[in-house]
A and B are shown apart, each in its own frame.
Chain A
Amino acid sequence: MSDDIILEMRDITKTFPGVKALENVNLKVRRGDIHAICGENGAGKSTLMKVLSGVYPFGSYSGDIRYEGQQCHFNGIHDSEKRGIVIIHQELALVPMLSIAENMFLGNEQATNGIINWDKVRRRAAELLKKVGLREDPDTLITNIGTGKQQLVEIAKALAKDVRLLILDEPTASLSEKDSQSLLDLLVEFKAQGMTSIMISHKLNEIKRIADQITIIRDGQSIETMDKADITEDRIVTSMVGRSLENRYPHREPNIGETIFEVKNWSVHHPLHPERQIIKSVNLSVRKGEVVGIAGLMGAGRTEFAMSVFGRSYGTNITGDVLLHGKKADTSTVGKAVKAGLAYATEDRKVYGLNLIDHIKHNVTVANLPSVSSKLGVIDDNAELRAANEYRKKTNIRSSSVYQITGNLSGGNQQKVVLSKWLFANPDVLILDEPTRGIDVGAKYEIYTIINKLADEGKGILVISSEMPELLGICDRIYVLNEGRIVAEMKASEASQEKIMRAIVRGEEKAA
């Protein structure tokens, strides 16, 4: 074991008014390692990284930071970047209407006396893009490339700053399986060149694959650091939640009835480029009490399919039929779709799911206000409060009351508010788009439990997820969607990750 420590954080304690976010956290990172930091949401991982990068300036926390053998007193991101510590946040910090090259040198412009040397910018951008394996013209606007490529631009941007310690906050959270793989490969390649990385991640398989060491943080404390040889999924999970999770997916005895939801010959075109067909005559069905999964890569058209079915919220030139209980249903507006018994919980709860500046109660009832109002549209406060309390309990939302602002809740609890909203609308069929994205192991389990309970109550559930183990763990049946087409349908009991991947790859060959 090499003892060349590039970074040591000792006894870091950081308090916010009323909350101790970090308490005596210790972190030692060896030079040239990929060091993973793992912990539940709200455990304090991001706070720790903010302390390291100077977002919380020296003096606002207690404890020591030694980097490259020197005591550090960072007073802002500028100070830490000067020393080669660069952090890439989960929410990418790119300006959509500027080009790749402009974004890469934002705040680090290649200029003399404030005049930008564009030749130098393009040349260096091209060099760096090559290094991260991104084949795009540096003049392409950020808005025109996908999330996976944007992530690579962020890394190239970090390289432009002579990064020696790269910190990535959940880098693969919004990437497809394929893009995630290439990103991880890239990190391994950087490691071979001697760069040190710290990676915050929820995804245990990724950590197992590339990390040399892993530090677990729970409730603002560092629990343990283990070496690659000792890393097992069970041990990580146990340390993270402080209890052993026997099974990551709750058991359910399926009780499946008649078909209640069918989509027939569903085709959708791109809203801005109507000649591009996004969904190509998709057929699928969901039965009563059944949990059905849609697997597929990012960009396969899963969200687009769901949103086009739900009130034509996406796309143009939509053709095909939606049947509920065997009868054609009008789902041409969101209102009509809700009335027909359909609900769609979005993959992006902050942008499409919640009013973050309002409290839980108003968010829960908003999709079904008429049920707590008189015919003239006067809201019955008591009925509304009762309903909000009922669903808060039902979905186990952890908050001081239903009057807590949803923007202050953790990701898992926000997701429960979104679920509550749609449960309150009392649908027969729920489409859940990435219901556990960005939430921790414990909250995931709770969400799965809710899904099971709903299936037991006789609802039909369609789950879209990028995490194949999740689909295999909770679904009865899985459709595989690729490039807008259903390329396979399988019983979950007969499915495996390999089988799903094979269906996708075969589908791609066919398309090519």
Chain B
Amino acid sequence: MSTETAAPTVNSAKATAQDAIKANLREYGLVLALIAIMIFFQFTTSGVLFKPVNLTNLILQNSYIIVMALGMLLVIVAGHIDLSVGSVAGFIGAVAAVLMVDFGFNPFLAGLICICVGAVIGGVQGYFIAYMKIPSFIVTLAGMLVFKGLALWLLGGRSVGPFQPEFQMLSAGFIPDPIGPWTIGGVKLHATTIVIALLIVAGMLFAALKSRRNRESHGYDAEPFGFFVLKNAVMAGIVLFLLYMLASYRGLPNVLVVMGVLIAAFVFVTKRMTFGRRIYAMGGNVKAAALSGIHTERLTFYIFAIMGALAALAGLIFAARLNMATPKAGAGMELDVIAAVFIGGASALGGVGQVAGAVIGAFIMGVMNNGMSIMGINIDWQQVIKGLVLLGAVAFDLYNKKKA
């Protein structure tokens, strides 16, 4: 007991730069890993990776994985797993195709119906998991088979397409540029994208400053000012650089806007809202959470319903990107999504994981896919390398935690 008496808040108020670096390495280790991987492929692809067109592609290619990773993060933090998301995404793509191509539905109406259907699918699975207490692994394994089969049946083995142009815009479109293109230093830039980039950076810096003030005012250790400035400058630099690259191609893809809004919403929900906090409490100790008055069953049900809606959205994005629904769509996607969340630092035991981590985890997988494809590495070896990276990332994470 006496070992814990030491050091109340007073002397920890001035954290050293070394402490700050250590703490941040754990927090930003993933970002650094992503940057390192990108730089590595920048060299091995002789500069193709960072070309504006390739960066844009990278985002389009991974958008549906990231959308599902957001929901999967909640599922995994809650101590569950969802193996059905790939099949559900494929099934929803088929539903969308049948509605729009075969029955001529308006794309917006069809999209809305699809997302509702996804939420219902997730809700039904959630019902079995939450109220019937069947392990999520089994329920969603069943769901995976069921919806794979239903997608085949719905499409009757054919590929259905193409979609209306409005629907294709979901994956192929870019935001308009009402401010008009600017030409700076001989490069034609998408002006609206640049303005948005500046707004985002300003918002980031404002939030960082505010949270630092807040910590200081409560006597909690703020990191040294120099380090704080450096860290935020680097983060701002990265955001500005990436958006500049996008602006020099065709601007922000529509799907990136959708993703950005979703990511921001999920960060907010998990960090600031009671709903999110309760998911962590439930994942950390479900019995204690229930005895604290948290409706653990209802919460689990909602989480799976959200996952279903996101799988549906991902299915729409994927269908719009291919411009058709195929019976094979979505196959194996769940594995990429789950891998992204675990690479992002979530614990398979529940209770631990961050939205930002899952997103970065998805990009790490995405950059590796992209980079290795450009390098011309065979798909067989790509799989091997991706598997090893997943194992290595989680092993490294556990090793770090043990040391700490």
Q: Spell out A's residues near B (CB within 8 Å).
A: 19, 40-42, 219, 310-311, 313, 333-335, 337-338, 344, 346, 351-358, 362, 366-367, 369-370, 373, 376-379, 381-382, 385, 389, 398-401, 403, 409-410, 412-413, 421, 425, 440, 442-443
Contact = CB atoms under 8 A, between A and B. Distances in A.
B255 to A, nearest CB: 28
Contact of A358 (B1, B280, B295): B280
B277 A366 contact: yes
A219 B8 CA distance: 20
14 contacts: A42-B1, A335-B293, A346-B288, A351-B287, A354-B285, A355-B281, A362-B277, A369-B278, A373-B274, A389-B218, A398-B5, A400-B7, A401-B8, A410-B1
Contact of A313 (B7, B275, B291): B291
Nearest to B352: A357
Which of A356, A400, A421 has the largest count of B CB atoms less than 10 A from its CB?
A: A400
Contacts of B290: 313, 334
Given A42-B1, A219-B2, A443-B1, A400 B12 contact: yes
A366 B6 contact: no
B292 A334 contact: yes
Nearest to B6: A400
Top 3 A-B pairs, shortest CB-CB distance = A355-B284, A367-B292, A335-B293
Contacts of A40: 1
B4 interface: yes
A459 B12 CA distance: 37
B3 interface: yes
A379 B273 contact: yes
Which of B218, B287, B288, B289 has the largest count of A CB atoms less than 10 A from its CB?
A: B288
Contacts of B288: 346, 351-355
A313 B288 CA distance: 11
Interface in B179-237: 214, 218, 220
B57 interface: no
A421 B292 contact: yes
B294 to A, nearest CB: 7
Contacts of A356: 284-285
B1 A412 contact: yes
Contact of A399 (B4, B214, B285): B4
A21 B334 CA distance: 47
B4 A358 contact: no
A354 B295 CA distance: 16
Which of B12, B278, B293, B352 has the largest count of A CB atoms less than 10 A from its CB?
A: B293
Contacts of A313: 290-291
Given A333-B293, A378-B272, A378-B273, 19 more contacts: A219-B2, A335-B295, A351-B285, A355-B280, A355-B281, A355-B288, A355-B289, A357-B351, A358-B281, A362-B280, A366-B294, A369-B277, A377-B275, A379-B277, A398-B1, A401-B8, A403-B220, A412-B1, A421-B292
B4 to A, nearest CB: 5
Contact of A311 (B220, B284, B293): B293
B9 interface: yes
A41 B214 contact: no
Contacts of A373: 273-274
Contacts of B2: 42, 219
A412 B5 CA distance: 13
A76 B1 CA distance: 27
B23 to A, nearest CB: 11
B206 to A, nearest CB: 16
A442 B281 contact: no
B303 to A, nearest CB: 15
Contacts of B352: 357
B76 to A, nearest CB: 14
Contacts of B274: 369-370, 373, 377-379
Contacts of A344: 291
Nearest to B282: A355
Nearest to A381: B214
Interface in B1-22: 1-9, 12
A370 B289 CA distance: 15
B267 to A, nearest CB: 13
B214 A382 contact: yes
Contacts of B218: 382, 385, 389
A401 B214 contact: no
A230 to B, nearest CB: 26
Contact of A41 (B1, B6, B287, B292): B1
A356 B350 CA distance: 12
A409 to B, nearest CB: 7
Nearest to A379: B272
A376 B9 CA distance: 32
B340 to A, nearest CB: 22
A333 B291 CA distance: 9
A390 to B, nearest CB: 12
Contacts of A403: 220
Nearest to B292: A367
B187 to A, nearest CB: 41
Nearest to B271: A379
Contacts of A357: 284, 351-352
A189 B333 CA distance: 65
B293 A367 contact: yes
Contacts of A443: 1
Contact of A352 (B7, B278, B281, B287): B287
B291 A358 contact: no
Contacts of B292: 334, 366-367, 421
Contacts of A333: 293, 295
A379 B270 CA distance: 10
A421 B281 CA distance: 13
A355 B280 CA distance: 9
Contacts of B284: 355-358
A353 to B, nearest CB: 6
Contacts of B3: 19, 42
Contacts of B295: 333, 335
Nearest to A21: B3
Contacts of B273: 373, 376-379
Which of A351, A357, A362 has the largest count of B CB atoms less than 10 A from its CB?
A: A357
Contacts of B12: 400-401
A284 B8 CA distance: 43
A384 to B, nearest CB: 9
A443 B291 CA distance: 24
Contacts of B285: 351, 354-356
A351 B278 CA distance: 17
B271 to A, nearest CB: 8
A501 B293 CA distance: 36
A58 to B, nearest CB: 22
Which of B4, B292, B294 has the largest count of A CB atoms less than 10 A from its CB?
A: B292
Nearest to A418: B288
A399 B5 CA distance: 6
B6 to A, nearest CB: 7
Contacts of A401: 8-9, 12, 220
Contact of A334 (B7, B8, B275, B291): B291
Given A398-B5, A412-B1, A353 B291 contact: yes
Nearest to B294: A366
Contacts of B275: 377
Nearest to A368: B293
Nearest to A382: B214
B291 A352 contact: yes
A362 B281 contact: yes
A497 to B, nearest CB: 29
Contacts of B272: 378-379, 381
Contacts of B293: 311, 333-335, 337-338, 367, 425
Interface in B82-134: none
